[in-house]
Structures are given as structure tokens and as C-alpha cells.
Amino acid sequence: MGPKESNWILVAQCPSRLGTVDVVTRFLKESRCYITEQHSFDDRQGGGFFIRTEFRPEAEGFDRVAFEAGFAERAAEFDMTFELTAPGTRMPVVIMVSRADHCLNDLLYRYRIGQLPIDICAIVSNHPDLASLAEWHGIAYHHFPITPESKAEQEAKVWVVVEETGAELVILARYMRVLSSEMCERLSGRAINIHHSLLPGFKGAKPYHQAYDKGVKLVGATAHYINDDLDEGPIITQGVESVSHTDYPEDLVAKGRDIECLTLARAVALHVERRVFLHASRTVVFDR
């Protein structure tokens, strides 16, 4: 286990008040914990304070229960909510996908080599196409076809998978169906979607071909938490790459696939490392 993997993570947020940084750092010092990384942000417009701290205990026999109880007493004065994550924690996830496999393949590779601290509990799809890929990785694959008439029934099956696996995060890795308002509400703050991000925006079929016809000079992707507004949830991260007149539609598609993979993987990493805070309709992101 390397130095980063041996660190505990403490994240907290509260209203803006004098002493918010001190209450965290002082308690860690008194608990004989050495801070290895720290980020904080005070939103002077929205009035919120956010902090993420990685630390390692210097004393033997670190007592998590005692630490949380002690810090809760200090945090109460600031109306501060917090979460403590132990070293080596791997977040259980469910991946949803349709037919395009580039984002799924990328996540599976990063998972296989240990780059992402996740456990992929299941893959859910509205098509059977990628079942063999899941089988090769030893991951359960659930094929739940969907029609406008069966949407509620299909989403009920998806929810059973999420609950039975204990998934803390759902990754929409090019899942090409719109989730219902009820499903978005259930997964609020714990479902990440990826989609292309082009200027100007191109709706409908073959967006990269439309972009080529307009002579765009940038292609990009956006990873965000889902909400009831299609592709307009709180943004976690975005990626962009230059293109030129020498790039044909198939080149734009290929570059788009690459940037979607990188942007989604980065968003997942930021989420599972507890670097993202939801703040109204926006996010606070402490990058690596």
C-alpha cells in the first residue's frame, strides 16, 4: 500500500463562519494526525464552506469511532456535516450502457489495473450486445430491454440491481435512454452521465457530422450528475480537444470518443475520492 492509499479522508461542509479551517486542523493535531493534503473553499456569494483533508494517524491504534464522536462535538458548533473515509475504501458501482462500448471499455481497463478505487458490481444495458465483454471481466450483466410502454417496469428492475448490489454510484457510460424524473430523484448526487459538448450545440443524430458541416474547431465532453433536466445536471468536469479543417467527420467522432472516455474517468475518480461537493445547482471540485 502506497502513501496515498494509507491516508484517511475527511470531508466537511457548513455555513461560512470564522474558525472553520481551525476546527478541522486543530482537532487533527490534537488527535495526533498528520495532514498530507488539504483543500478548502469559502463561497462568498453563496455563503458555504467546504473542506477536504487527507491525513495519516501518527499514533498506533487509530480509533475511528472515537475520532468521529470527538469531531462531531466540535463540528456541531459550526452546523458542520462531515464524512470520514478509511484507507483503501473501494466504492461499489453499477455501470449502465447501451451499444457504444468505448467508455465502458475504458472504465473496465482502469478498474482492472487498479487505477480507479471502485468495485464494479454489475453492468446494466437495454441491449444484449456487450454481455460477452462483461462475462470476460467476470461481472454480472443485466439485459433489461425498454420501450416507452415498459419504461417504469424496466427502471424498477434497474433499481433492484442498485439496491441489491449496494451501489453507491451509478455510471451512465453512454446509456442512451432518458431516465424518468423518479429515477433521477432516487439517484440524485450519485449518478454520473457523460455526453458530447460542442459549440454551438448540436442536437439529434450524428452531432459530430453536424459539427463537421459547421467547421467547428473544438470538440469536447461533459461529465455531470444527472437531474431532471436533460444533460443539464451539476457539472463535475469537462474536456476539450482542438480539431481543424483536415479532420473529417470520422476523425471528429474518434476524437470525441477519446475525450468522452477521459472526461468520464476523471469525473468518476474525483467522485470516489470524495473531491466533489454538490452546492445547489453547481459543484465544488477539489482537483487532484
pLDDT digits (tens, 9 = 90+) for 78-133: 999 999 999 999 999 999 999 999 999 999 999 999 999 999 999 999 999 999 99
Rounded to the nearest integer, the mean pLDDT of the chain is: 93
Q: What is the pLDDT of residue 49?
A: 97
Tens digit of each residue's pLDDT (9 = 90 or more) over 165-191: 999 999 999 999 999 999 999 999 999
Tell me, what amino acid is at 35?
A: I
User: Are the beta carbons of 21 and 54 closer than 8 angstroms?
Assistant: no
* Residue 125, SS3 per DSSP: strand
- The CATH number for 159's domain is 3.40.50.170
Q: What is the pLDDT of residue 46?
A: 83
Q: What is the pLDDT of residue 3?
A: 46
- Structural domain ending residue among the three candidates 64, 85, 106: 85
Tell me, what amino acid is at 124?
A: V
In a shared domain, residues 101 and 73 = no
Q: What is the pLDDT of residue 130?
A: 97
* Residue 240, SS3 per DSSP: strand
- Structural domain ending residue among the three candidates 85, 120, 143: 85
pLDDT at 2 over 50: no
Of 42, 43, 119, 231, which is the active-site residue? Answer: 231
pLDDT at 199 over 80: no
Report the domain count for the chain: 2
- Domain of 76 in residue numbering reads as 4-85
**Rounded Cα gap, residues 176 and 178, in angstroms:** 7
In a shared domain, residues 273 and 153 = yes
Tell me, what amino acid is at 253?
A: V
Q: Which cell numbers hold the place of 19?
A: 474558525
Tens digit of each residue's pLDDT (9 = 90 or more) over 140-163: 999 999 998 899 999 999 999 999
- Structural domain ending residue among the three candidates 85, 105, 127: 85
In a shared domain, residues 181 and 39 = no
Active site residue 231: yes
Helix (H) or strand (E) holding 109: helix 102-112
